[in-house]
Amino acid sequence: MVARMIWTRKWWRYYREDFELVTSEAVLDELRKGDFPAKSDALHLIEKIPIISIDESIIEITTSYISHHLMPKDPAGDALHLAVASFHKCDFLLTWNCKHLANANKFDYIKRVNVMLGLYVPTLTTPLELLTEDI
């Protein structure tokens, strides 16, 4: 966990300017509801990032992901994050969720379902994978 925090801070400090960052209300809700030591810092970091919309189309995609057993049944969780990134054609979905999102073993299935739904397939990755220099 300490290494993840260091890599994330390094990416945020030195590389975030290389990307057009967006977030969603789902991420804000997740951060607001969370109970972790740096909660206020995390909320402060993303307060100036544009918020992309969640509409009925995204809710339908979320439901489809769950019905295809692509993501856990929590409609406000991983399925929603992936649906937002896919619908809005985000190049990357940056996450430390390596169980359901940034997981090479699941990516082919995610790609198949997105193609079947006519959706863009974002790259699902961690901040570590976007560091461009030796860590």
Does residue 125 fall inside a structural domain?
yes
117-132 average pLDDT score: 94
Q: What is the pLDDT of residues 91-115, one digit of tens each?
A: 999 999 888 999 999 999 999 999 9
Q: What is the pLDDT of residues 58-75, one digit of tens each?
A: 999 999 999 999 988 877
Q: What is the pLDDT of residues 10-61, one digit of tens each?
A: 999 899 999 999 999 999 998 999 888 888 888 988 888 999 989 999 999 9
Is a pLDDT exceeding 60 seen at residue 76?
yes
Does residue 105 fall inside a structural domain?
yes
pLDDT at 18: 92
Torsion region of 53: left, alpha or beta (phi above 0 gives left; psi -120 to 50 gives alpha): beta
Contacts of 70 (CB under 8 A, 6+ apart): 79, 82, 106, 109, 110, 113
Does residue 17 fall inside a structural domain?
yes
pTM equals 0.88
pLDDT at 135: 54
Does residue 135 fall inside a structural domain?
no
pLDDT at 68: 94
> Could you tell me the residue range of the domain that residue 81 belongs to?
2-130
Is a pLDDT exceeding 70 seen at residue 82?
yes
Does residue 7 fall inside a structural domain?
yes
- Measured CA to CA, the distance from residue 11 to residue 47 in angstroms comes to 17
Structural domains counted in the chain: 1
Does residue 10 fall inside a structural domain?
yes
- Measured CA to CA, the distance from residue 110 to residue 18 in angstroms comes to 26
- Measured CA to CA, the distance from residue 103 to residue 95 in angstroms comes to 10
